[in-house]
């Protein structure tokens, strides 16, 4: 080999060696993720578990419903979300019992009292035994006039237990009764003191029951203002709500003229047997006299 040819071969071999050295310093080529500066995070589409978040985990499970007791927490408002109280009304077990309308006995009256009653009269000689002079007298014993709107006088038949709570006659009151004034519910035509207020019974006679444990009661709504249970004939026990203490032993008469009266006039101690007497001198519309 000539000297020039040998020199050329050596030059080629030297270039190859230099190239190899350069490649060693560069290292193994790599591929970039992308050309921007952000990093993309890949989220596992399955439930998280102990394996890598590479999208190849077990698919989401269809979980079973809660088998425990239902929650007892706050009930969600059924309307649009707001700051109002949930649409739930809680009824307390301790709520008061509502009065169903049964009359209840009260303390002695300081306003209106049933003051005199004549429910039985003797028959005229040879005549029919009809009661044509019946009356109920009411007295305002208070220190103020009383407006009577809403007040009623109720009449109860005590001879039949099934009707004890049901009045057979109700007389509404009206107007205003002055201090110390009397109001008389009367048979039509009965003479009454001129200063008294009057209301006529609808029927001309036999308006008031004569049997045992009958009652006459002044009420204002469901409140008993005053009451009288009278008569001693055998029969069902009287309604206790319509008795002041005990039933008076005094009774009206169908053999002599007379009436049942509070004595002294207007007295109400809440003891029927103490307060009521039989008088031979009926005084409808005026102070009682024995």
- Concatenate the DSSP letters of all residues of the chain into one string: --HHHHHHHHHHHHHHHHHHHHHHHH-S----S-SSS--PPPPPSS---SS-SSS-SPPPP-PPPP-SPPP-SPPPPSSSS-SSPPS--PPPTTPPPPP-S--B--SPPSSEEEEEEE---PPPTTS-----S-EEEEEE-SSS-EE-TTEEEEEE-TTSGGGTTSEEEEEE--SEEPTT-EEEEE-TT----TTSEEEE-SSSS--S--STTEEEEEEETTEEEEEEEE---SSSPPPGGG-SSS--S----SSS--EEEESSTT---S-HHHHEEEESS--TTS----
pLDDT at 211: 81
Whether 171 is in a domain gets the answer yes
In the block, residue with structure tokens 């207020």: 197
Mean pLDDT along residues 238-263? 93
The CATH number of residue 141's host domain is 2.60.40.1260
Mean pLDDT of the chain: 75
For residue range 122-177, what is the model confidence (pLDDT) as tens digits? 987 556 678 999 999 999 999 999 999 999 999 999 887 766 678 999 999 999 99
Contact at 8 Å (CB) between 55 and 45? yes
Is the pLDDT higher at 271 or at 98?
Answer: 271
Domain that holds residue 149: 112-279
Q: In which band, very low, low, confident or very high, does the pLDDT at 45 lie, cut at 50, 70 and 90?
A: very low
Statement: residue 34 has pLDDT above 50: no
Does 201 reside within a domain?
yes
Give the span between the Cα atoms of 114 and 228, in whole angstroms: 7
- Among 136, 151, 159, 157, smallest CA distance to 224 is for 151
- Max mean pLDDT among 20-24, 52-56, 125-129, 263-267 falls in 263-267
Q: Mean pLDDT over residues 9-15, rounded?
A: 53
How far, in Å, CA of 229 to CA of 227, rounded?
A: 7
31 located within any domain: no
- Mean pLDDT over 71-97 rounds to 43
CA distance 266 to 287: 8
Q: Residue 59 pLDDT more than 70?
A: no
Q: Given a cut of 50, is residue 89 above it in pLDDT?
A: no
> Which one of 108-112, 210-214, 269-273 scores highest in mean pLDDT?
269-273
Q: Is the dihedral of CA 75, 81, 83, 87 positive or negative?
A: negative
The pTM (predicted TM-score) of the whole model is: 0.64
The number of domains in the chain is: 1
More confident residue, 63 or 235: 235
Q: Is residue 74 part of a domain?
A: no
Residue 146 inside a domain? The answer is: yes
pLDDT tens digits along 198-235:
999 999 999 999 888 899 999 999 999 999 999 876 66
- What is the pLDDT, as a whole number, of residue 238? 81
For residue 18 the two structure tokens come to 């230099």
Between residues 55 and 185, the one the model is more confident about: 185
Judge whether residue 27 has pLDDT over 80: no
Residue 46 domain flag: no
Residue 95 lies in a domain: no
Is residue 132 assigned to a domain? Answer: yes
Residues in the chain: 290
Calculate the CA 264 to chain-centre distance: 41
Percent of the chain with pLDDT over 90: 49
Predicted pLDDT of residue 92: 35
Q: What is the structure's pLDDT at 228?
A: 96
Q: What's the average model confidence in pLDDT over 254-272?
A: 95
Looking at residue 118, its pLDDT comes to 97
Cβ atoms 171, 199 nearer than 8 A: yes
């Amino acid at each position: 080999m000539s000297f020039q040819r040998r020199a050329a071969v050596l030059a080629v071999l030297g270039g190859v060696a230099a190239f190899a050295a350069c490649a060693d310093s560069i290292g193994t080529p790599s591929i970039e993720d992308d050309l921007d500066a952000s990093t993309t995070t890949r989220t596992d589409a399955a439930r998280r578990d102990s394996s890598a978040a590479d999208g190849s985990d077990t698919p989401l499970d269809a979980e079973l419903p809660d088998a425990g007791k239902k929650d007892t927490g706050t009930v969600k408002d059924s309307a649009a979300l707001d700051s109002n109280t949930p649409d739930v009304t809680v009824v307390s077990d301790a709520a008061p019992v509502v009065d169903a309308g049964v009359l209840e006995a009260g303390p002695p009256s300081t306003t209106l009292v049933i003051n005199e009653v004549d429910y039985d009269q003797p028959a005229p000689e040879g005549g029919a035994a009809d009661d044509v002079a019946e009356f109920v007298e009411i007295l305002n014993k208070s220190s103020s006039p009383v407006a009577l709107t809403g007040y009623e006088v109720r009449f109860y038949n005590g001879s039949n237990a099934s009707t004890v709570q049901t009045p057979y006659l109700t007389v509404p009151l009206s107007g205003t009764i002055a201090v110390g004034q009397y109001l008389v519910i009367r048979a039509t035509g009965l003479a009454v003191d001129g200063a008294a207020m009057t209301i006529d019974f609808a029927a001309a006679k036999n308006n008031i029951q004569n049997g045992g444990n009958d009652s006459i009661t002044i009420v204002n709504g469901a409140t008993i203002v005053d009451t009288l249970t009278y008569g001693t004939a055998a029969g069902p026990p009287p309604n206790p709500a319509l008795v002041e203490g005990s039933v008076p032993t005094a009774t009206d008469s169908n053999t002599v003229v007379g009436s049942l009266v509070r004595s002294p006039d207007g007295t109400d101690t809440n003891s029927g047997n103490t307060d009521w007497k039989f008088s031979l001198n009926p005084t409808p519309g005026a102070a009682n006299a024995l």
